[in-house]
Amino acid sequence: MTATPDSTLAPVRRSKADLQRELAELHRRLDERTRERDEALQRETATAEVLQVINSSPGELAPVFDGMLEKAMRLCGAAFGLMMVADGEEAPTVASRGVPTAFAEFRRTNPVSMAKGPIFSRLLAGDAIVHTLDLKDDDAYRRGDPLRCATVDLGGGRTSLMVALRRDREVVGAIHLYRQEVRPFTDKQIALLQNFATQAVIAMENARLITETWEALEQQTATAEVLGVINSSPGNLAPVFDAMLEKATRLCGASFGILLNYDGQRFRHAALRGIPTAYAKFMQEHPPIYGPDSAPGRLLAGEDLVHVLDMTDTDLYRSSEPNRQAIAELAGARTVVAVPLRKDDALMGAIVVFRQEVRAFSEKQLSLLQNFAAQAVIAMENARLITETRERAADLQEALEFQTATSDVLKVMSGSVFDLQPILQTVVTTAVQLCRADQAVIYRHQEGEYRWAAGYSLTPEYERIEREVTIRPGSGTLIGRVALERGTVQILDAWSDPLYEVKDDARVGGIHTMLGVPLLRDGFPIGAIGLARRRIEPYTEKQIDLVRTFADQAVIAIENARLITETHAARDEAEAALRELQTAQASLVHAQKMAALGQLTAGIAHEIKNPLNFVNNFAGLSVELLDELKETAAPGIATLDEDTRAEINETVEMLTNNLEKISEHGKRADGIVKSMLEHSRGVTGERREVDLNALVEEALNLAYHGARAQDQSFNITMERDLDPHLTPIALAPQEITRVFLNLFGNGFYAATKRASEAADGFRPVLLVTTRDLGEAVEVRVRDNGTGIPPEIRDKLFQPFFTTKPTGEGTGLGLSISYDILTQQHGGTIEVESEPGAFTEFTIRLPRQ
């Protein structure tokens, strides 16, 4: 520093002043800086606080706006403030602070569009801020603008500052601060408020982004849920439509919604959501007809989207179209949007959602609806494909079941050719199972009537009835109607069918829908299959065809059985005839053999008889002659010497003995010849009615005493089992007695013979049994003797066959008995025997 004395003071003074000035300036600047610093600090604090609020409630703007307004007012020294956000034409208040009660009350009762106010208009016009020094000293106040007057007079507002919230130059809202005195806002305060405005826009943007993310998430969730429902109920569209409509209604902020189906002719309600009760009732009573001017009608005409802002502001409403009126008045519908469900230009339905206020749906909501519509189309297509696949699978399954059933029946048929019943049973059982019937019967024709042949799954009570009835052709019964019409008959409900007469029986059986199919042979119903259901449900063509197949099979089975039965009967008959023939032939051969033997025997007897007579006669004569010789020669012989005399006498004696032996054996031969001649005697005995039991008794006595006469030691137990009800029979008593004597004698002989060979305990028994068989009489002669070995049984009745020692039997007894029984009486004689146990002869004599 350089200065003179004189001049030094002056400059000092000047310097001091300068210094004081500079100091003041420095103080001022310090204060300013301090203030700036404080303001900045406050601003930054406020900003930080606002940011904190923004961060703490992401997506929610109300608390952000509120906090922002509070801070702005504080920092800018405002008495009260408002914040609004543009929404289309309007700019509704989103936050307010410190508004005097009277003014707040005015605002509440007089909703005045801030957006149309003079200040906001300037923002829209492009101003960044509108700083009004005195609201009262202004044209608007002076011309009596109601909002301005209220602001000034009720709110006491004087100096006001409005800052625009801008995003990409577009006004999206505003902050409006008021002072109740005339004092302008400083530049810094203005800048601070602008900063807040910027932050508010950021917050709004954040919120928007967050909301969009949320919405997107929600929509995606909804879509995913709908897809989940589609997947979880494939083929079943109702839950899909329900879920879809619920979400569409909710996400689009609609009050209620309708999902419609279009089948190519008319619309049907596929899902309803939140329909107000009054309109729901109206719809029930008056099913809506969607004409060309209705929303669905317009979609049908080709529109891709129908968006009606106000249902009451439409020609259709004004034309008093009932549904439009009802939906507006009963459901309160105002804004509506309808999107089509379209597949390849074909309308398949529509989603229609309604709002109960006039508020347009956003683009996003519209696209969401369209998205749902697309999903609905996919779901419907899926359902159609699934249904088709299922139907084809079901068809295939059914065809398989039918074929299996058919082959089952065929198997049973081939397995039981001789027995019809299992086949018919299989038919009814299979028919019930495959035709979803509850019971089935088969009736068969029998002399003009139809009777029960087989049944399955009837209630016991009903089956009792059905088994008993005989059905004639007629409309009153299922089987009767089938027989009458000779064709398939379906009765939808037996309980109400006017011609069906046995309704009581149907009630007992609990059956409604019936199907009857005839069993036709050459066009004639030889039977019928009847099916019944415990519900009303007609039988499908496939089921009817199946039952027809069964009927055909049953006819074949019945025919087979009939043919087989006939064949069998014919075979049995032929076999029986053959057996009879063989028997007859055998007995004829036997009889002829016997007759031939008899004739031969008689012939031999005749031929032997004459020479035998000579033998006997001459032997007898020779004895006489020898006697005469002895007498005549006696005197001469007496003269001879003793030796000679003795020799002569001895020779004569021997001759006499020889002649006597010749006589004796000759007589024996004569006895045989006489027996042999019995064969040729023919019927000699006279026939008369006799009591066979008495004849048996008599013959037993004779035989017994005859045997006793020959052998004193003879003894046998004779048992009788004589039928007390035996009526007299015509026969030749003498001949039959001969037969009895023969058989009894044989029995005595065999039993005695066994007794002689057996241990001491053996008791010979002869049992005689008689039985009246009606057409014939049977006599059995049984002894417990030695029995007859099988190998000689065939020879029993042959002449000369005997097992007795020579001289004891002629071998003609049974032969003659055989002749008497078979030739003379047309009867039979059979023998049964077990060697060492018994022999039993069975005689049958027919009544003539």
| Residue ranges binding another protein (CB under 8 A) | 606, 609-610, 613-614, 616-618, 621, 625, 670, 681
Nearer to another protein, 268 or 674 (CB): 674
Q: How far apart are CA 497 and CA 517, in angstroms?
A: 18
Nearer to another protein, 618 or 714 (CB): 618
Q: Going by DSSP bridges, is the β-strand pair 765-772/717-722 parallel, antiparallel, or unpaired?
A: parallel
Nearer to another protein, 378 or 608 (CB): 608
Q: How far apart are CA 151 and CA 178, in angstroms?
A: 9
State the nearest-atom distance from the C-beta of 670 to another protein, in Å: 8
Q: How far apart are CA 46 and CA 331, in angstroms?
A: 49
Nearer to another protein, 374 or 608 (CB): 608
State the nearest-atom distance from the C-beta of 614 to another protein, in Å: 6
State the nearest-atom distance from the C-beta of 655 to another protein, in Å: 16
Helix (H) or strand (E) holding 656: helix 642-678
State the nearest-atom distance from the C-beta of 665 to another protein, in Å: 15
Nearest to 296 by CA among 342, 339, 255: 339
State the nearest-atom distance from the C-beta of 680 to another protein, in Å: 8
The answer to whether residues 707 and 745 touch, using CB atoms and an 8 Å cutoff, is: yes
State the nearest-atom distance from the C-beta of 732 to another protein, in Å: 15
Q: What is the token pair recorded at 438? A: 């509850």
Nearer to another protein, 495 or 618 (CB): 618
Nearer to another protein, 52 or 684 (CB): 684
State the nearest-atom distance from the C-beta of 687 to another protein, in Å: 16
With a CB cutoff of 8 Å and minimum separation 6, the contacts of 590 are 797
State the nearest-atom distance from the C-beta of 799 to another protein, in Å: 19
- Beta-bridge partner residues of 840: 782, 832
Nearer to another protein, 552 or 670 (CB): 670
State the nearest-atom distance from the C-beta of 752 to another protein, in Å: 35
Handedness of CA 492, 497, 501, 505 (dihedral sign): positive
Q: How far apart are CA 564 and CA 311, in angstroms?
A: 83
Calculate ∠ Cα 146-147-150, nearest 5°. 85
State the nearest-atom distance from the C-beta of 662 to another protein, in Å: 14
State the nearest-atom distance from the C-beta of 629 to another protein, in Å: 13
Q: How far apart are CA 306 and CA 310, in angstroms?
A: 12
Nearer to another protein, 606 or 705 (CB): 606
Q: How many CB atoms lie within 10 A of CB 564?
A: 15
The answer to whether residues 78 and 178 touch, using CB atoms and an 8 Å cutoff, is: yes
State the nearest-atom distance from the C-beta of 622 to another protein, in Å: 9
Nearer to another protein, 407 or 684 (CB): 684
Nearer to another protein, 386 or 625 (CB): 625
State the nearest-atom distance from the C-beta of 666 to another protein, in Å: 10
| AA letter at 313 | D
| AA letter at 118 | P
Q: How far apart are CA 764 and CA 743, in angstroms?
A: 15
| AA letter at 510 | G
Nearest to 35 by CA among 182, 173, 187, 154: 187
Nearer to another protein, 35 or 606 (CB): 606
Nearest to 766 by CA among 758, 778, 777, 754: 754
Go through the chain and tell me how many residues it has: 848
Nearer to another protein, 389 or 680 (CB): 680
Q: How far apart are CA 616 and CA 665, in angstroms?
A: 9
State the nearest-atom distance from the C-beta of 612 to another protein, in Å: 8
Q: How far apart are CA 752 and CA 399, in angstroms?
A: 83
Q: Going by DSSP bridges, is the β-strand pair 524-532/489-491 parallel, antiparallel, or unpaired?
A: unpaired
Nearer to another protein, 317 or 618 (CB): 618
Nearer to another protein, 300 or 669 (CB): 669
Q: How far apart are CA 551 and CA 553, in angstroms?
A: 5
State the nearest-atom distance from the C-beta of 633 to another protein, in Å: 17
Q: What is the token pair recorded at 270? A: 């596929």
Q: How far apart are CA 801 and CA 818, in angstroms?
A: 13
Nearer to another protein, 131 or 681 (CB): 681
The answer to whether residues 399 and 283 touch, using CB atoms and an 8 Å cutoff, is: no
Exposure class string for 208-238: b at 16+ Cβ within 10 A, else e: eeeeeeeeeeebeebbeebbebbeebbbebe
Q: Where are the alpha helices (DSSP H) in 275-420?
A: 277-285, 295-301, 315-318, 322-329, 363-415
Half-sphere exposure of 335 (CA within 13 A, CB side): 15
Phi-psi region of 552 (alpha: psi -120 to 50; beta: other; left: phi over 0): alpha
Nearer to another protein, 563 or 621 (CB): 621
State the nearest-atom distance from the C-beta of 717 to another protein, in Å: 41
